[in-house]
Structure 1
Amino acid sequence: MDRLVLKRVLRGLWVVLAAVILVLATYVLLPLLYPLLLAWLLAYIMHPLVLLLKDLKLPGWLAVSLSLLFYIGGTALVLTALITRLVKELIVLLQTFNLHTDQWRELLLSWSRNASIQNIINQINQFYQDNPGYHATIDSNISRTTETVGYAVTQLVTGFFNIILKLISALPSVGTITVVVVLAAFFLSTSWERHNGRITKWLPAPLLKPVSDIWQDLRKALFGYIRAQFILISITAVIVIAGLVVLGVKSAFAIGLMIGIVDLLPYLGVGIVMIPWLVYSYMTGNLALGIGLSVLYGIILITRQVLEPKVLASSVGLDPLAMLIGMFAGLQLFGMLGLILGPVLLVMLNAFNRAGVFHVLHNYIVSGRLR
């Protein structure tokens, strides 16, 4: 093998090995260090307010304490109000579903008595009589399909209740982690410059500038993406809640909040909920609600199409297909949490690419130089 090619292969293997070691180290250390990372993120978010309070001649410890109280107390207050309202409306929504059970049964029975359906049933019975050999095969396939659907529904319900049980059982652990995060954030904030200076000293001088550039671009991309998505789903949720209130729909807050979260799904978005709902309204003869939902769905689509390019343009533009692939890959690798982690990792990779990391690695493999 040519000597130059051999060197390139060895440098490529070294880059791959370093990447594997970095991923493994992250996988091993992240469960141990994530409270510290959360504390650093909280301290980073609080830092502007801490500086503002220090400018008012407040002692450092008091400025940090007030900032912690403002952020944590405000977040706890908002979450408590949201969860309380959401639980109340979910209870009302569940009661509404129970009230409509008889109506749905009657709708299904009337649909089954339809002349066209009865004609199809008669044709199936005639087919059974004319082809008795297929009877057992069809019954077997129907039985297997029913068992599969029943198993899927059972798994879905069981999984839902398992998630609730895990959340309840995790409350003591969450409380402990919260205390650790708050204390670590306090200590980090009181000596913010000293801790950051120590981290800077650990890095070799040639890496300071590239790391700083990567961090600045990554911060803009990641926080920009999260901010943009939060703005878009908030706008969707507000429009849906307002529209449902006007239409007189019960539990408008809970439904609007859930539809806003569903809006994170690319391409599908609110349509995965709104379209079946408005079709059902038309089928049940509730034309007023069906027309109202249709108009509301159109308003959401137009608003989303107008605002999304402008909101995302100020952060990081991601191709919808790439986002869909990222969400699917995240779902396969990390479960439901992957629906969020997938696009976030995609944004991070995009930020590394924009910062020239992959270009630098390519130069190193080809020529042995970082520039």
Structure 2
Amino acid sequence: MEYITAIVKKVRPFVSILIFFGVFTVVFMLVSGTIKYTLPFIIGIIAASILEKPTEALIKKFNMRGEIAAIISTLVFYAITVTLLVVGIVYFSSEIKDLATDGYEYIYDNGSKIGNLVQNSLSTFENIDESVLDTLRSNINKLISDASNYILELSGSVVNYIINIISALPYIVSVIIFAILSSFVFLKKFIQKSYSQNKENKIKEESEYDKYIKIILEIKDVVFKYIGTYSILVFCTFIITFIGFSILKIPYTLLLSFMCMILDLLPIVGMILVFLPLMAIYFFSGKYITVIFLIILFSVIMITRNILEPKLLSASLELSQLSVLIAIFVGLNAGGFKGMIYLIALFIGFNFYKKYANFEGNFIECKDKIKNEEQ
């Protein structure tokens, strides 16, 4: 009997981990598969988490009821957010269309010059086999032709995107309305102060449900802290890029800076997708000083990120760099962007599982850990 008990104790941690992976995968599939229907509530809980502290400050400063403060902060937040989104979509759609048109015209007007420059450069390599040079020339000419076609398609895609947004307007309006309502409900729950019992009685009578809620709330706080710190990094990228492009007098400064900020969120590729075409354009235009300053600007951004990122993110998620690299590489290859998000979320969730869950299948130690952290 003791032998069987010992085997059960050894096997139980692995069973618990398998159950965790299974439950997490099912929950992730449900959330990602029903995103069209759960989107207002996801937006609602995100907005409520952002507005929690400002609303509490509003209550303390003006001594108003929680419901009224929640209504005011929610309406102000969505009024500002929706206005900025509408203005931003209209402005950036127009800018992207103009940029795509100008880019197509530039390649159309200068394609022959670029081709001649490349061919003259290749002709200097006398020791290379002629068939290899011909292959390189044909591939480069094809690349230039494809680039012009891609830019033209981008302009048409922007127009189609605007049309799709207009056609989906009823759904967008319904999402905004239900997001506002769910934000108010979540926010009211977050700021609700209903402590009828003292702290000792509350700990003694704390149910398993309350423990799970505490864990979920801490996960929420840490994840939003990570999002906040990463947003600071991305905003720094936007500011440095905007100032640098403005000094260099590069057209479409705001649009290109915003594109750098968005691309900075993507793994592996990043801002080089903006800087490399700019360097190529100014290089073939003979503006070599601008190319040098673009290289310097890109280096400054990378150095700034490498200095700030460890300091800002060290206390947020406790994920090792190896875990992040594995999540990015395996996730992107297995399931694309969705796979990457799944693995990163899985590692974050497993960190909290190791922190709070007792591998013997209960949460006896969970309350003590939470109690010690509160003290």
**TM beyond 0.5:** yes
- The answer to whether 1:262 aligns with 2:260 is no
Residue 291 of structure 1 is matched in structure 2 by 292
1:20 to 19, 22, 25: 22
Distance 1:109 1:265, change over 3 A: same
Deviation at 1:247, TM superposition (A): 0.8
1:103-118 pair list within 5 angstroms: 103-113=110-120, 116=123
Deviations 1:135-176 (A, max 9, x none): xxx9xxx99xx9xx98xx99xx69967877765554432322
Give the alignment's Cα RMSD to 1 decimal.
4.4
Structure 1, 163-172 or 314-323: larger mean CA deviation? 163-172
Cα separation, 1, equivalents of 2:224 and 2:124: 54
Q: Which runs of 5+ in 2 are unaligned?
A: 196-201, 366-375
Counterpart contact for 1:35–1:177, Cα < 8 Å: yes
Aligned to 2:370: none
Distance in 1 (CA, whole Å) between partners of 2:17 and 2:209 is 16
Cross-structure match for 2:76: 70
The change in CA–CA distance for 1:208 and 1:269 in structure 2 (over 3 A counts) is: same
User: Aligned equivalents of 1:283 and 1:126: distance in 2?
Assistant: 21
Answer whether contact 1:92 1:251 (CA < 8 A) is retained: no
- Contact 1:240–1:256 (8 Å) recurs in 2: yes
Contact 2:356 2:363 in 1 (8 A): no
Contact conserved, 2:332 with 2:340, CA < 8 A, in 1?
yes
Change in CA separation of 1:233 and 1:170 when aligned onto 2, cut-off 3 Å: same
Match of 2:182 among 172, 181, 184: 184
Distance change (3 Å), C-alpha of 1:311 and 1:248: same
Q: How does 1:287-326 map to 2 (within 5 A)?
A: 287-326=288-327
What does residue range 100-139 of structure 1 map to in structure 2 within 5 Å? 100-101=106-107, 102-113=109-120, 116=123, 123-124=130-131
- Seen in structure 2, the aligned counterparts of structure 1 residues 26 and 229 have a Cα distance that, compared at 3 Å, is closer
- Report the equivalent of 2:253: 252
- Note closer, same or farther for the CA distance 1:253–1:284 as it changes in structure 2 (3 Å cut): same
Cross-structure match for 1:278: 279
**Structure 2 residue 50 is the aligned partner of structure 1 residue 45:** yes
Shift, 1:257, TM fit: 1.1
Aligned 8 A contact 1:214 1:351 in 2: no
Query: Residue 295 of structure 2 aligns to a residue in which SS?
Result: helix
Partner of 1:93: 99
1:312 positional shift:
1.5
Percent identity between the two aligned chains: 22
Aligned pair count?
340
Deviation at 1:108, TM superposition (A): 0.9
Deviation at 1:298, TM superposition (A): 2.1
- 284-293 vs 41-50, which deviates more? 41-50
Distance of 2:216 and 2:188 partners within structure 1: 26
Tell which deviates more after alignment, 53-62 or 67-76.
Answer: 53-62
Residue among 160, 174, 196 paired with 2:172: 174
Structure-2 separation of matches of 1:241 and 1:71: 26
Normalised to the residue count of structure 2, the TM-score between the two structures is 0.71
Match for residue 89 of structure 2 among 80, 83, 88: 83
Secondary structure of 2:220 counterpart: helix
